[in-house]
Structures are given as C-alpha cells and as structure tokens.
Structure 1
Amino acid sequence: MIEVYSWPTPNGHKVHIMLEECGLPYRAHPVDIGAGDQFKPEFLAISPNNKIPAMTDPDGPDGRPYSLFESGAILLYLAGKTGKLMPADTRGRYDVLQWLMFQMGGVGPMLGQAHHFRIYAPQKIEYAVERYTNEARRLYGVMDKRLAKSTYLAGPEYSIADIAVFPWLRSWKNQGIDWNDYPHLKGWFDEIGQRPAVQRGVEVLADLRKPLMDDKARQTLFGKDQYQRRD
C-alpha cells in the first residue's frame, strides 16, 4: 500500500488523481499546511523542502521501500511503476515531459502567485495583482492555442501532463479568468473533469480543507515560520 502525505491543494490532487487513474492501492495521510504539519520532523524526513505531497512506496524499484517528494517526480515515478499515462516511444515521452515541465515551471508557480496576490496578500499591491493576473491569462492562452489542434496537452492521448495541469485550473475564478476567452481549454477542462478517477481524486482529503482565514495559518504559510532554517 502506497502511503501519500498530502493536503487538498492542486499539487496534492495531482498525485491523488494519478493514483486513482492507475488503480494503485494507497492511503492518504493529511498534512495540514495551515497548522504547520509540514514542519514536523517525520514529514521533513521524506520531504526536505517542507512541501506537500510526499510519498512512500513499500515496494520500491529495488523491492525496498522508497520515498520521494515533488509532485512532478511522483507522477513520473508512478507512470514508470505502472506503465500508464506515459508514451513508450521516445518522441511521445518528450512531448509529455515538455508539457509536464510547463506545468511545474509555469502554470503552478505563476497561478500560485496569482492566488496569493489576488486573494491572500494582506495588502493589495496593484502591480503584483496585474502582473500575475496577466501571466495567468497568458498561460491559459498558450494552453488554449495548443488544444485548438491537439486533443490533449501532449498529443492524442491523455497523460500525466493533463493530470498535472487540471487541478490548477479548478480555481480559475480566483485567477481572474473568463472561460469565454479560452474555448478549447474549457472543453478540455470539462472533459477531464468528467473522468471518474479525476472526480474521486479531487475529493481526497477535501472535507478537511478550510478557508485560510486566521492569522496563525497565514503566519505558518506566508510568514517567518515558512522561512525558518531547519536542521
């Protein structure tokens, strides 16, 4: 049984969805990032960057337990373990990898900043809100253009690239997005959202999530607690 240490965020849901799509048995352990669970020594032992998700596979590549962190790495690991959602041919594999890197280097960080400055920042900084909202719209435009000529992000087949991107777009309203501007992307989003494994994946731990309202949670996520050096 795979042990997943996670929280119902886009990066957490990427792994939940992948596990559901692969049909692997797993147990989800909540790591309440608003309460500071990500700084506990037992979590840092498998996720030194104090970020969710992290995962332990008791049946690792050499038959021994194996732990890893970073959601993109976990998607690649699970694709390799199961032989699913990653093309076998070299060209197809790199098509998937480039769109996975697009999510990890662009969609996640930029939409995360859009969320922060539009929703969570204690002061509304006009320059930051405009910068990251515009970047969110640019990235949506890149994906919309791609999906005008491709069924899925990396080509004709559903893959880990689609799994990686989908959870980040569920908060489109908070990112300042009007779906009318991205009809091809909206069609893809609606189709992915109808997949039974995706619907199950986004419900994992979802009942535990609560609005980020109190000062303690804000301090934990965005204040000095986040930047404290840990041995």
Structure 2
Amino acid sequence: MIDLYSWATPNGHKVHIMLEECGLPYRVHGIDIGKGEQFAPEFLAISPNNKIPAIVDPEGPDGQPISLFESGAILLYLAGKTGRFLPQDVRGKYQTLEWLMFQMGGVGPMLGQAHHFRIYAPEKLPYAVDRYTNEARRLYGVMDRQIACTGAYMAGSDYTIADIAIFPWLRSWQNQGIDWADFPALKAWFDRVEARPAVQRGVQVLADRRKPFRTEAEKEVLFGKAQYQRR
C-alpha cells in the first residue's frame, strides 16, 4: 500500500486523482501546511523541499521501497508503475510530457502567484495583481486554443497525466480573475474532467480538513520567515 503525505491543495489533488484513477491502494497522511507540519523532520526525510505531496511506495521498481516528492515526478512514477495515462507511442508520450511541463513550469507557479497577490498578500499591490491576473488569462488562452485544436484533452484525444496535472489548478478560476465565458473550449474540457468519478473522489481527499488560512500565524508559516529557515 502506498503511503501518501499530502494536503487538499491543487498539487496534492493531482496525486489524489491519479491514485484514484489508477485504483491503487493508498493510505493518507494529512500534512497540515497551515500548522507547519511540512517542516517536521520525518516529512523532510521524504520531501526535502518541505512541500506536499510526497509518497512512499513499499513496492518500488526494484522491489525495494521508494520515496518521491514533486507532484509531476509522482505522476510519472505512477503512470510507469501502472502503464496508464501516459501514451506508449513516442509521439504521444512527448506530447503529453510537454503539457505536463507546461503545468509544472507555467500553470502552477503563475496561478499560485495570482492566488497569493489577489488573496493572501498583506498589501494589495496593483502591479502584482495585474501582472499575475493577466498571465493567468494568457495561460487560459493557450489551453483554450489547444483544446479547440484537439477537441478533447490537452495532449490529444486521450485523457492523460497532463489533464490530471492541470485540472486541480483551474478549480480556483474565480480567484484567478477568470471568466469562463472567455474560454469556451477549455470550459468544456474542465466539465469533462470534472465529471470523472475518480476525479470527484480525488478532490475530496482531505478536503474536510482544510480550512481557509485566516490567522497571522498560519500566514507566517506559509509565506513568512518560517519558509526560509535553514533545516
């Protein structure tokens, strides 16, 4: 059984959804990032960047336990383990990987900054809000055009880890300043993915435990000096 160390965030939900889609047995260990549990030595031993999610698979590729952090790496590992959601043909594989990297390098970081400056920043800085809101809209436009071309999913006609990686980040579209009316093809894709039973189960993992970050202590843990202490 895979041990999953996670929280109900977009990056956490990527792996929750993948585990549900693959039907792999897993045990959830909630890492409350508002309370600073990501800095515990036991968690840092498997996720040295103090970020969720992370997994420990007792049945690794060589029969020995393996621990992994970084959600994209975990998706690739689980796809390799199960032979699912990553095309076997070379062209399809790299088309999927380019959209996975698009999420890891663009969608996640940029939409994360949009969330921060629109919602969490102690000062509302118009330049930062405009910069990241505009970048969010640009990225939505890229994805909208891609789905209009494929007619189905990010990397083509099949549902892949690229879709699994991108979908959780778009669930907070309102917080990113997005109007779905501007992106009809992408909205149709979003609805297709959201309707999948495994996706619906995945986004419920730990959802009942996550609460909005309201206190100054929680914000300090997430965005303040606690992030930058050497450990």
Match of 1:152 in 2: 153
Match of 1:165 in 2: 166
Equivalent-residue separation in structure 2 for 1:71 and 1:10 (angstroms): 10
The CA deviation at 1:63 is 0.2
**2:227 aligned partner, one-letter code:** Q
TM-score for the superposition, normalised by structure 2: 0.99
Equivalent-residue separation in structure 1 for 2:50 and 2:178 (angstroms): 30
Match of 2:89 in 1: 89
Match of 2:227 in 1: 226
Match of 2:206 in 1: 205
Match of 2:112 in 1: 112
Q: Which runs of 5+ in 2 are unaligned?
A: none
**1:138 aligned partner, one-letter code:** R
Q: How does 1:32-111 map to 2 (within 5 A)?
A: 32-111=32-111
Equivalent-residue separation in structure 1 for 2:78 and 2:117 (angstroms): 33
Equivalent-residue separation in structure 1 for 2:104 and 2:111 (angstroms): 11
The CA deviation at 1:115 is 0.1
Match of 1:217 in 2: 218
CA RMSD of aligned residues (A): 0.3
Equivalent-residue separation in structure 2 for 1:27 and 1:96 (angstroms): 28
How many residues were matched structurally?
230
Equivalent-residue separation in structure 1 for 2:228 and 2:118 (angstroms): 22
In the alignment, is residue 125 of structure 1 matched against residue 125 of structure 2?
yes
**1:187 aligned partner, one-letter code:** A
**1:124 aligned partner, one-letter code:** K
Equivalent-residue separation in structure 1 for 2:147 and 2:115 (angstroms): 24
Equivalent-residue separation in structure 2 for 1:56 and 1:179 (angstroms): 38
Match of 1:143 in 2: 143
Match of 2:197 in 1: 196
Match of 2:183 in 1: 182
Q: Deviations over 1:199-227 (max 9, x none)?
A: 00000000000011001100000000001
Aligned structure 1 segments of 4 or more residues deviating by more than 6 angstroms: none
**1:80 aligned partner, one-letter code:** G
Equivalent-residue separation in structure 1 for 2:38 and 2:124 (angstroms): 27
Equivalent-residue separation in structure 1 for 2:28 and 2:86 (angstroms): 24
Match of 1:15 in 2: 15
Percent identical pairs in the alignment equals 74
**1:137 aligned partner, one-letter code:** R
Equivalent-residue separation in structure 2 for 1:164 and 1:82 (angstroms): 17
Q: Which runs of 5+ in 1 are unaligned?
A: none
Equivalent-residue separation in structure 2 for 1:216 and 1:30 (angstroms): 19
Match of 1:28 in 2: 28
